[in-house]
Structure 1
Amino acid sequence: MPKKIVIFIFMVALLISAGFFFGYYSAMFESKKPDDRSLKNAETIQLPEETLKPGARIIFITRYKECGHEKRSEMLVDEKYVGYTKSRLQEEFKEWKIESFSNNRVILTKLIDGICEEHYYIGLYEGYVALFQGKPGKDSKLLELTDIKAGILKEEDRKLLERGIVINSKDEFLKIREGLTH
């Protein structure tokens, strides 16, 4: 039995020593933490928001998701917008996202889920050759209806027009239209 008592006393002494060292080191690390009271009493300094200056530029970038094109336009800040902050400008242009803001230049962006106005195709509309804005098979807008009847066209030309011929400009339309009549 004496051997068990010695082991028991040794274990108790070990636990007491471990507790002492744990408490001591915890107290040491706790005292090195910053005092939370000093943070509670600190004042927050609010810097003034940047505002638009006369002569600043606002750049509008419209991105078209379907075709990947970008349309950019720019305006000089007139007296109405001088002094506007980023948040005030965002209220004014709700449908736009402010990509960057400084007192002399702002970039506003908008993403359109569609195609830009630069896409045209030639197709058939009610039996006549027509120019459309858009892409064949998608929502498109009739721009010009010609007096060329589909019935007088060669069969291969008519089949192409039924599917739609994608073109890049109205000038290209004029050339193709002229070729269809000769």
Structure 2
Amino acid sequence: MPKKVLLYSLLILFFLVISFGYGFFLSFLDFNKTQDMERISGNTEALQLPEEKLNPGAKIVFVTRYRGCGHELQKENSADDKFLGYTKTQLQEEFKEWKVESFSSSQVILKREVDGICENHYYIGLYDGYVALFQGEPGKNSKVLEKTDIPAEILKEEDRRLLENGIIINSRDEFLKIREGLTH
């Protein structure tokens, strides 16, 4: 019996030593792997490339999406001397209301969304007591394009109320049709 106890004790001791050694070996491998990763990440920071900058002749494209009509209008400008050499980060600081969609040394695309409708739409409304065609919403940065000879006082009450708020239209042809309908 004592031989069996001794044999079992030696087997248990053997498995404990093997288990401890295996655990130590795995932690040693993990430690080396961590050191290698730190060394690699340290090297990439040293090799980090400088940010790309705007070159002479670069284009800045402004894209505005209008929520009211769903249209996107795009305006392209040459980068003036002020922006030459700017990085993406510097441009984002300069144009805070815009999002830098893409950036390269030759072209930048800036995007934004705004409420309202784009300038490709017109409004029919009232101006100085007459039916008029507006570029932009009447009373809000609008421009009178055409003032008709149709006085507001001869319009049906319902038509007058609609025109007081302004009616959005898509073309001058649509304006001509509505104007003709108001007189009949």
TM-score when normalising by structure 2: 0.69
Most deviating of 20-29 and 60-69: 20-29
Partner of residue 21 from structure 2, selected from 10, 24, 48: 24
Aligned pairs (5 A) from 1:80-99? 80-99=82-101
What's 2:112 paired with? 110
1:107 deviation in Å? Answer: 0.6
User: CA distance change for structure 1 residues 13 and 119 in 2, over 3 Å: closer, same or farther?
Assistant: farther
1:28 deviation in Å? Answer: 2.2
Partner Cα distance (2:148, 2:162) in 1: 17
Corresponding letter in the other structure for 2:25 = M
1:17 deviation in Å? Answer: 5.0
Partner Cα distance (1:163, 1:13) in 2: 99
User: CA distance change for structure 1 residues 17 and 172 in 2, over 3 Å: closer, same or farther?
Assistant: same
Contact 1:131 1:142 in 2 (8 A): no
TM-score when normalising by structure 1: 0.70
Are residues 1:159 and 2:158 paired? yes
Q: State the percentage of identical aligned residues.
A: 49
- The aligned length equals 173
What's 1:50 paired with? 52
Partner Cα distance (2:19, 2:108) in 1: 58
SS of residue paired to 1:28: helix
SS of residue paired to 2:81: coil
Give the RMSD, CA atoms, in angstroms: 3.8
Partner Cα distance (1:40, 1:18) in 2: 36
SS of residue paired to 2:33: coil
Partner Cα distance (1:171, 1:73) in 2: 26
User: CA distance change for structure 1 residues 142 and 66 in 2, over 3 Å: closer, same or farther?
Assistant: closer
SS of residue paired to 2:113: strand
Normalized per residue, the structure richer in helix is: 2
1:73 deviation in Å? Answer: 0.6
| 1:6-59 per-position Cα deviation (integer Å, ceiling 9, x unaligned) | 89x95x777645543332222222232425278359442231211111222111
List alignment gaps of at least 5 residues for structure 2: none
Partner Cα distance (1:178, 1:141) in 2: 27
Partner Cα distance (1:94, 1:141) in 2: 23
SS of residue paired to 1:80: helix
Most deviating of 158-167 and 100-109: 158-167
Contact 1:117 1:134 in 2 (8 A): no
| 1:116-169 per-position Cα deviation (integer Å, ceiling 9, x unaligned) | 23333324568642435349xxx866644544223424x4xx534533543212
Partner Cα distance (2:124, 2:118) in 1: 17
Partner Cα distance (2:13, 2:141) in 1: 87
List alignment gaps of at least 5 residues for structure 1: none
Corresponding letter in the other structure for 1:27 = F
